[in-house]
């Protein structure tokens, strides 16, 4: 009997390795369901995206302003350069924060509304949301600018989605 197990053990071992244990289905708790319901609200999702976009814009504005050198740097003292850089960081951060907040809010709201209306989660939602966002952000430039913004932002959104591969 020991000899039989010795001869069968390599094949039996591979069968055991191939079979992964099946984990039982876990039902979500009441708190998890409430959290999902709150996050599935388009207003909550849009505001959260706007806040996160504003934070990203704030950080990017600070970083990019820190890389800027004053034009008349040779004639400025260290204190003047520091004050100039701080003012530039503040104004650029605020400007970038507003732009990214609006962009995040509009994109998230458009995608959520389209997703709820279509009852699908696919690339079309991203294209429509990108078009709405690009058109909204460039609408002040006139109809040509709005159409160009729509097309470019939609293409950019699709490229990012393909890169992140969120949709199967």
Q: Inter-axis angle of helices 123-137 and 143-164, to 10 degrees?
A: 140
pLDDT confidence of 128, banded at 50, 70, 90? very high
At 136 the pLDDT is 94
Q: Which two tokens stand for residue 78?
A: 């260290």
- What's residue 166's pLDDT? 60
Question: What is the per-residue pLDDT across 78-109, written as a single tens digit (0 to 9) for each?
Answer: 888 888 888 888 999 999 999 999 999 999 99
Predicted TM-score (pTM) of this structure: 0.75
Share of the chain above pLDDT 90, in %: 54
For the chain, the residue count is 168
Contacting residues for 70 by C-beta, under 8 A, at least 6 apart: 76, 81, 84, 85
Q: How confident is the model at residue 148 (pLDDT cuts 50, 70, 90)?
A: very high
Distance CA 52, CA 49 (A): 5
Residue-averaged pLDDT of the chain: 86
Say if residues 54 and 98 touch (Cβ distance below 8 Å).
yes
Q: Does position 16 have pLDDT exceeding 70, yes or no?
A: no
Exposed, middle or buried by CB within 10 Å (0-12, 13-18, 19+), for 114? middle
Residue 13: per-residue pLDDT: 55
Q: Which of 64-78, 92-106, 119-133 has the lowest mean pLDDT?
A: 64-78
């Amino acid at each position: 009997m020991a000899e039989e197990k010795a001869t069968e053990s390599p094949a039996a071992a591979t069968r055991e390795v191939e079979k992964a244990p099946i984990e039982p289905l876990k039902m979500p708790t009441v708190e998890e369901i409430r959290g999902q319901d709150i996050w599935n609200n388009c207003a909550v999702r849009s505001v959260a995206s706007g806040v996160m976009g504003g934070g990203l814009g704030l950080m990017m504005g600070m970083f990019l302003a820190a890389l800027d050198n004053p034009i008349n740097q040779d004639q400025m003292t260290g204190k003047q350069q520091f004050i100039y850089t701080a003012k530039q960081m503040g104004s650029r951060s605020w400007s970038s924060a507003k732009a990214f907040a609006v962009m995040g809010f509009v994109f998230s709201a458009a995608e959520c509304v389209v997703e709820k209306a279509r009852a699908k989660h696919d690339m079309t939602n991203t294209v429509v949301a990108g078009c709405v966002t690009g058109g909204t952000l460039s609408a002040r430039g006139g109809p040509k600018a709005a159409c160009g913004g729509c097309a470019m932002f939609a293409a950019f959104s699709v490229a990012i989605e393909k890169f992140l591969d969120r949709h199967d």
